[in-house]
Structure 1
Amino acid sequence: TMEEDFYRGRLTSRHGLEVLVPPEEDREIIHRVIYDELVVGVIKESSRREYIRIMEGLIAQGAEGIILGCTEIGLLVKDGDVSVPLFDTTRIHAEAAVDEALRA
């Protein structure tokens, strides 16, 4: 999701936001943790620290918020782990679905 235009293009074209993406070596860590650990229910403190380190690197580059663009990432990190808001897309989509269902 990070490498593709799903979020990046829309945030840039619709809202004029600059989207920062972690460097390739950090993206490899992110993908490894997701597919080798989180999707099979393994949550490691060392992986949590790595995610926080990666997010803090983005904040140091000027990020004012972090998109958690994979359903499992919210199992590993939470609001308050870093100094900027975390946007959990799973929660955002679920809240939007509930809002839409209640309008009907």
Structure 2
Amino acid sequence: MRKLGLIGGMSWVSTASYYTRINSAVQKRLGGFASAHLLIESVNFSDYARLQSDDDWDAAAGLMTRSAKRLENSGATAIMICSNAMHKIYDRVQPEVGIPIIHIADCVGDKIVADGVKTATLLGSRNVMTEGFYRKRLVAKGITLTPPDEARVEEIDRIIYQELMFNQAKRESERTMKTYITNIAKGDVEAVILGCTELDLIIDTKANILPIYDSTENHADAAVEWILSDG
């Protein structure tokens, strides 16, 4: 079993989901008392939130790099950043360590391509939905993404940062997301991507009008494959 490093705390809510899903899958695959060999660097997201607000991504990359190096020095064979939005600094962090950082958008894109899906709508925080760092990785795999809807962007970003990151799953927000997905399904689109590791708190990924690709799920499943592979 290979040792995997997780950079978590962004938020702690979704990091707990990663831990549960990875260990449940490893135990199911190996049986008995098996659990994953994980290292977790759980950061204080307040530090990142402040830098994000100040648009100081260089400083954020410095913090992330130090976390990644600590995991590498502790024996991790690969790293995962347990956040979609913080992959904005992936290209600044990956060159600073000698082990792979498994990109969350690649895991989502590979699953979508394997299923033969060509068009999707990306939902997540503002920077994930509107900036190129995430969208371009999906487009490079041949996936056509619908343009972001500005009103939808603002409301989903609010829900994420004012509710979900505090582990609050409100019925009103569940209804809002259900309405969004219903309206998305009326267009020429085959699937919805949850590009936020907390959105599964208010979206039933198994019972929706369109197929839902949950980035947390896809990333955690890739973690299991890494841990159990021979290298």
- TM-score by structure 1 length? 0.88
Deviation, 1:80, is 4.2
Contact kept, 8 Å, 1:20 with 1:58, in 2: the verdict is no
CA–CA distance in 1 between the matches of 2:177 and 2:207?
Answer: 10
CA–CA distance in 1 between the matches of 2:174 and 2:199?
Answer: 10
Note the residue ranges of structure 2 that are not aligned, 5 or more in a row: 1-127
Partner of 1:74, secondary structure, is: helix
1:85 aligns with 2:225: no
Q: Corresponding residue for 2:195?
A: 69
Root-mean-square deviation over aligned CA pairs: 1.5
Q: Corresponding residue for 1:30?
A: 156
The number of residue pairs the alignment matches comes to 103
Runs of 4+ displaced beyond 6 Å: none
How many percent identity over aligned positions?
35
Q: Corresponding residue for 1:10?
A: 137
Note the residue ranges of structure 1 that are not aligned, 5 or more in a row: none
Contact kept, 8 Å, 2:191 with 2:213, in 1: the verdict is yes
Partner of 2:213, secondary structure, is: strand
CA–CA distance in 2 between the matches of 1:6 and 1:61?
Answer: 25
More contact order relative to length (CA 8 Å, sep ≥ 6): 2
Flag the 1:82–1:21 CA change in 2: closer, same or farther, 3 A.
farther
Contact kept, 8 Å, 1:48 with 1:77, in 2: the verdict is yes
Of structures 1 and 2, the larger Rg is shown by 2
- TM-score by structure 2 length? 0.42
Flag the 1:21–1:45 CA change in 2: closer, same or farther, 3 A.
farther
Deviation, 1:20, is 1.4
CA–CA distance in 2 between the matches of 1:58 and 1:6?
Answer: 23
